[in-house]
């Protein structure tokens, strides 16, 4: 039980730093809320962990260009987000739909509407101790 609490505290710290660290533009960082759901190391796959984080963002929210060090699965629960991954066509993903992103692919994401926010769940499997999102300036 103590281990689970420590893991939750660690992911909470990561989740609250994720959006400001990536340089949210448009809506301010305080208008984007994150809720850590789970952080756990994967048994049998040393050095790998899974993170699940709920994002609730305001209309006009957009990230700076960034990468994800691990495999990312996103399920949109409300609204629509635009996803622009380098080398792929820009796409809009609406509530009830999901998408997958390869590690280390530069990207930008944001709400599709200037009038409507969005909620989405991010599930990432990647290197233990790494942030979920890392700014990418190249």
pLDDT for the residue 137? 85
Which tens digits make up the pLDDT trace of 32-72? 799 999 999 999 999 999 999 999 999 999 999 999 999 99
**Mean pLDDT, rounded, for 104-114:** 95
Share of the chain above pLDDT 70, in %: 78
**Mean pLDDT, rounded, for 84-113:** 97
Cβ–Cβ under 8 Å, residues 133 and 21: yes
pTM of the shown model:
0.78
Burial bucket for residue 40 (CB in 10 Å: 0-12, 13-18, 19+)? middle
Q: Could you state, in order of their start, the residue ranges of all structural domains in the chain?
A: 2-130
pLDDT for the residue 31? 58
Confidence of residue 78 (pLDDT cuts 50, 70, 90): very high
Q: Which CATH superfamily is domain 2-130 in?
A: Jelly Rolls (2.60.120.10)
Cβ–Cβ under 8 Å, residues 58 and 73: no
């Amino acid at each position: 039980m103590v281990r689970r609490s420590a893991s939750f505290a660690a992911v909470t710290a990561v989740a609250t730093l994720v959006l400001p660290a990536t340089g949210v533009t448009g809506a301010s960082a305080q208008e984007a809320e994150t809720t850590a759901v789970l952080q756990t190391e994967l048994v049998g796959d040393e050095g790998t962990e899974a993170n699940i984080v709920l994002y609730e963002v305001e209309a006009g929210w957009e990230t700076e260009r960034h990468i994800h060090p691990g495999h990312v699965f996103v399920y949109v629960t409300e609204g629509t987000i635009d996803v622009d991954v380098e080398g792929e066509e820009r796409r809009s993903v609406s509530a009830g739909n999901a998408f997958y992103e390869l590690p280390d692919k530069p990207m930008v994401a944001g709400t599709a509407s200037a009038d409507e926010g969005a909620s989405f769940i991010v599930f990432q499997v990647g290197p233990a101790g790494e942030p979920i999102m890392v700014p990418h300036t190249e």
